[in-house]
Chain A
Amino acid sequence: MNWLDHLPALMLAVPLFGAFIAPLTAWGGKGLRNAWFLLVSVVFSVLAILLWSRVGAAGPLIYVMGGQGWNIALPSGISIPVRILMEIDAFSAFMVLLGAVASLAGAVFSVAYMDRFSGMEKFVALYFLMVTGMFGMEVTGDFFNFFVFLEISSVASFGLVAFWRDRGEALEAAFKYMLVSSLGAMMVLLAVAFLYSRYNVVNMATLGKVIEWGMVEKTALVLFLTALAMKCGSVPMHMWMPDAYAEAPAGVTCALIAVSQASLYGLFRVCFTIYGAFMGSPVIPWVIIILGILSMFIGVSMAVIQKEVGRLIAYHSVSQVGYMLLGFGVGLLALGDARAMADYGFTALKGGVFHIVNYTMYKGLLFLAAGALFYATGSRNLNEMGGLARRMPKTMVLFMIAAAAIAGLPPFNGFVSKLLIYESSFAVHPILAVFAMVTSVLTLASFVKIFQTAFLGPELKKFAGVKEVPGAMLVGMTVLAVAIIGLSLFPTWSLNNLVEPAAKALMDQTSYIGAVFAAAATGGGL
C-alpha cells in the first residue's frame, strides 16, 4: 500500500489538522505561528498537485473512508454504497488544484498583511477550516457530506469576514452573508432530503444511476439551483458578495473566491452528473443562461459607478460568475445532443472551465493588489488616491497584469476563455455574445478607471511617506501573477492538460458513475 493512495483523505486531514493545531502555536510566538501557516499551506498545495496529476494519469479516484471497499455484508444484502465515499474525477481535481493555489497565495499574503493585528492564531485556524470545507465540497462523493462541508466552509468564512469586528461594516457584511448562506444551506439539505425520500441513498454516483424524472426530482433540482446560485453570487441574490468581499481582509477574499467556486462546482455536479441525461428539456439550461447574462450585465454596471476599490472589484466578481454560468448553461443546453455538443457545447464547457481558473487567479490577484493599496495608504476610497505608481511600482505592475487579464486583452488568459464563450454562445443566439462583449468593454473601462485614479497622475503630498508593501505580500501576489502569465503564454498546453480533461469529465456522466461501481466489482476502492 502506497501512501499516495490516501491522497483524498490527506487532502482533508492536512488543513483540518492545521486548523486545530493553530491555536497552540500562539505559545511559540509570532514566528512559530507564521511558519505553521505557511508550512500547512505549502503541504496541501503539494498534495493538490499530486492529486491532480494522479487523477490525470489514472482516471477517477474512489476512496472509502475507513474501509477496503464499500460493500459490506448485511443480512438483507444491501448493495448500495453505504460507507463514506470520496470520488475525485478530473473536474474535482482541477477545482482542488485551483483552490489550493488561491489559498496558498492568500496565506502568504496574509502573513505580512495581518501582521499588525492580534488574534492571528484564531485567524489561521478559521482560514484552514474554510479551506478544509472547500476541499471537502470538491472531493466528496456523497450529498450529505457536501452539505456538511458547505456549512464548515461557510461558518468559518463568516468569522473571517467579520475578523475586523471593530468595524461595524464588517459585521454588517458578515451578517448578510450569513443569512444568505444559512438559507442556502438549508435548501441544499431539503433537496438532499427530497432525493433521499425517493431513493434512500445520498451517494452521488448511485443517485445519478437510478434517478428518474418526476415531481420530487424537479423540486430537488430547483432547490439545488436556487441555493447554489445564491451561494456563488449570481444575480438576483448577489448583494452579499460585494459587501463580504470588500470587508473581509484581502488574503481571505482571495481564498473566499475559491470557496464560492466550490458552490459553483456543486451546481454543475448536480446538473451534469446527477441529472445529466434527464436535462432534455431546455428550461433549466436557459434559466442558467439568463441568470448568467443578468449577473454579467448588472454586476458590471454596478461596478462602473463604485468609488471604493474593494467594492468595485467585488462587483466584477458578480459579472465574472455570469460568464461561467453562461458558458456552462450553453454546455448544458447541448447535453444529450451529440451534434450540438460537437458544434458548440464542448467549446462552451471548455470556455466555462477555463474561465473558472482564470477568474480565480486574476480576481485573487486584484483583491490582493487592492489590499496592498489599503495597507500602504490606509484608504479604500479611489477619490483620495493618486500618483502611487512612483511609490509602489511593483504593486502597479502586478495590478496591471491582473487588470489586463480580466479585461480580456489579447495576449492574456482572460481573452482565450472569453473568446471560447463568445464563439459558443453566438451559436445559440447572437444576442448572448453581444451581452458578453458589452460586459467585457465595461470591464475594461472600470479597470482603466482604477488604474488611472490610483496609480497615475501627480504625486499627492499626503502619500509622500508611502512605501512599497513588504516582501511576503509581493510574494503572495507573484504566485498568482506567475499562474496568470503561465496560462497566457501556454494556452494550448493549459487547454489540453488542464481544461479539456475537466470539461470531458463534466460531459461524461457515465465515467463518474461507472467508477464507483467498477471499484465495487474489483472488491476494493483504495
Chain B
Amino acid sequence: MIGNFPYLVVGILFVMGFIGLVFERNLVKIAIAMSVIEAATNLFIITLGYRTGGSIPVWTMAGGGSSRMVLPTPQALTLTAIVIGLATTALMLSFIMMIYRHYGSLDVRDIRRLRG
C-alpha cells in the first residue's frame, strides 16, 4: 500500500493541475497549473524507475555495490523533460508579459479578440 503512495500523489497533482488549467481565469495561475502538470509527469517517471534499496546505476569493473540498481533510463528521460519544461515555462511567462502590455489585463475574459 505504502509503495503505491507516490502514484496517488501523482494522480492528485495531475488532476489539480488539470482543474487549474481549465477553471482558472488568471494567466499566471494557468501557467502555474501547467507547471504542476509537468511536475506530476516527472514525478511519475521517477517513481517508475525507483527500486527499494537500489543503488545508483553505475556499473564498475571493480565490483562491489549491490546488483540492485534504480533504473537509469527514467532519470535520463526526466532530466530531458525538466529542461524542456523550463524552456516552455519561460516562453509562456514571456508571452503573458507581452499579452499584459497589449491588453492591460491578465484575465482570460478580457483577452478575447479572437472569436468565432
Contacts and interface: CB of A to CB of B under 8 A. Distances in A.
Interface of A: 75, 144, 147-148, 151, 155, 158-159, 162, 165, 167-169, 171-176, 178-179, 182-183, 185-186, 189-190, 192-193, 196-197, 200, 202, 242-243, 247, 302, 305-306
A202 B45 CA distance: 13
Contacts of A165: 98
Interface of A is mostly: helix
A284 B91 CA distance: 35
B116 interface: yes
Given A75-B59, A171-B99, A186-B41, A179 B21 contact: yes
Question: Max chain B CB contacts within 10 Å: which of A167, A200, A305?
Answer: A200
A176 B113 CA distance: 12
Nearest to B104: A168
B88 interface: yes
A168 B92 contact: no
A40 B36 CA distance: 39
Given A173-B114, A186-B41, A168 B91 contact: no
Contacts of B74: 193, 196
A195 to B, nearest CB: 11
A305 B45 CA distance: 46
Given A148-B84, A155-B91, A193-B48, A172 B34 contact: no
Of the listed residues B48, B74, B81, the one surrounded by the most CB atoms of chain A closer than 10 A to its CB is B81
B91 A179 contact: no
B111 interface: yes
Given A179-B21, A179-B34, A193-B41, A162 B81 contact: no
B84 to A, nearest CB: 5
Nearest to B37: A186
Nearest to B67: A76
Contacts of B80: 144, 148
B44 A193 contact: yes
B31 to A, nearest CB: 9
A174 B116 contact: no
B87 interface: yes
Contacts of A168: 99, 102-103, 113
A158 B92 CA distance: 9
21 contacts: A144-B80, A148-B84, A165-B98, A168-B99, A168-B103, A168-B113, A169-B114, A171-B95, A172-B99, A174-B95, A175-B27, A175-B95, A175-B96, A176-B114, A178-B91, A183-B34, A190-B14, A193-B48, A196-B45, A196-B48, A200-B71
B77 interface: yes
Contacts of A190: 14, 41, 44
Nearest to B114: A243
B71 to A, nearest CB: 8
A75 B61 CA distance: 11
B68 to A, nearest CB: 13
Contacts of B88: 151, 155, 178, 182
Nearest to B87: A155
